[in-house]
Structure 1
Amino acid sequence: MNPADFFDLKNKTAIVTGGGNGIGKSCCETLAEFGANVVVSDLKMEDAEKVSNEINSRGGKATAVTCNVTKDQDLVDLVHTAIDQFGSIEILVNNAGGGGGGRENPFNIDVDHFKWVFELNLFSAWRLSQLCAPHMKAAGYGSIINITSMASINKSPNMSAYASSKAALIHMSANLAHDYGPFGIRLNCVGPGATKTSALAKVLTPEIERKMLQGTPIKRLGEVEDIAGAVLYFAAPVSEWVSGQVLFVNGGGIQTLD
Structure 2
Amino acid sequence: MILDRFRIDGQVAVVTGAGRGLGAAIALAFAEAGADVVIAARTKDQLDEVAERVEALGRRAHVVPVDLRDPEAAAGLAVAAVEEFDRLDIVVNNVGGAMPSPLLDTTPAALSEAFAFNVANAHALVRAAVPLILETAGGGSIVNITSAMGRLPGRAFAAYGTAKAALAHYTRLAAADLSPRIRVNGIAPGAILTSALEVVAGNDAMRTELETKTPLHTIGEPEDIAAAALYLVSPAGKYLTGKILEPDGGLIVPNLAIPLPDL
Both proteins in one fold, TM over 0.5: yes
Is contact 2:106-2:158 (8 Å) kept? no
C-alpha separation in 2, matches of 1:5 and 1:198: 32
Residue 61 of structure 2 is matched in structure 1 by 62
C-alpha separation in 2, matches of 1:135 and 1:157: 41
Residue 139 of structure 2 is matched in structure 1 by 141
Given the alignment, which residue of 148, 163, 168 partners 1:150?
148
Structure 1 window deviating more from structure 2 (82-91 vs 215-224): it is 215-224
Residue 221 of structure 2 is matched in structure 1 by 223
Is contact 1:18-1:42 (8 Å) kept? yes
1:123-165 CA distances to partner (integer Å, 9 max, x unpaired)?
Answer: 1111111111112222122110000101011111111000000
Structure 1 window deviating more from structure 2 (147-156 vs 204-213): it is 204-213
Given the alignment, which residue of 106, 131, 148 partners 2:128?
131
C-alpha separation in 2, matches of 1:212 and 1:233: 27
In structure 2, give the amino acid aligned to 1:192.
P
1:185 and 2:182 equivalent? yes
Cα 1:203/1:215, change in 2 over 3 Å: closer
Determine helix, strand or coil for the equivalent of 2:244: strand
* Structure 1 portions without partners, runs of 5+: none
Structure 1 window deviating more from structure 2 (29-38 vs 107-116): it is 107-116
Deviation of 1:14 (Å): 0.4
In structure 2, give the amino acid aligned to 1:61.
R
Residue 116 of structure 2 is matched in structure 1 by 119
Structure 1 window deviating more from structure 2 (47-56 vs 67-76): it is 67-76
Is contact 1:156-1:256 (8 Å) kept? no
1:206 and 2:204 equivalent? yes
Q: What TM-score results when the alignment is normalised by the length of structure 2?
A: 0.91
1:36 and 2:66 equivalent? no
In structure 1, give the amino acid aligned to 2:133.
M
C-alpha separation in 2, matches of 1:170 and 1:114: 17
Determine helix, strand or coil for the equivalent of 1:15: strand
Deviation of 1:4 (Å): 5.3
Deviation of 1:116 (Å): 1.3
Residue 260 of structure 2 is matched in structure 1 by none
Is contact 2:93-2:143 (8 Å) kept? yes
Residue 240 of structure 1 is matched in structure 2 by 238
Deviation of 1:6 (Å): 0.6
Q: What is the CA RMSD across the aligned residues, in angstroms?
A: 1.6
Residue 194 of structure 2 is matched in structure 1 by 197
C-alpha separation in 2, matches of 1:203 and 1:209: 6
C-alpha separation in 2, matches of 1:203 and 1:213: 11
Determine helix, strand or coil for the equivalent of 1:65: strand
Question: Which runs of structure 1 show a deviation greater than 6 angstroms over 4 or more consecutive aligned residues?
Answer: none
Determine helix, strand or coil for the equivalent of 1:114: helix
C-alpha separation in 1, matches of 2:28 and 2:250: 25
C-alpha separation in 1, matches of 2:162 and 2:6: 33
Determine helix, strand or coil for the equivalent of 2:103: coil
C-alpha separation in 1, matches of 2:7 and 2:232: 12
C-alpha separation in 1, matches of 2:3 and 2:256: 42
In structure 2, give the amino acid aligned to 1:135.
L
Corresponding pairs, count: 254
C-alpha separation in 1, matches of 2:2 and 2:130: 27
Q: What TM-score results when the alignment is normalised by the length of structure 1?
A: 0.93
Is contact 1:49-1:63 (8 Å) kept? no
Residue 170 of structure 1 is matched in structure 2 by 168
C-alpha separation in 1, matches of 2:224 and 2:3: 22
Structure 1 window deviating more from structure 2 (64-73 vs 208-217): it is 208-217
* Structure 2 portions without partners, runs of 5+: 258-263
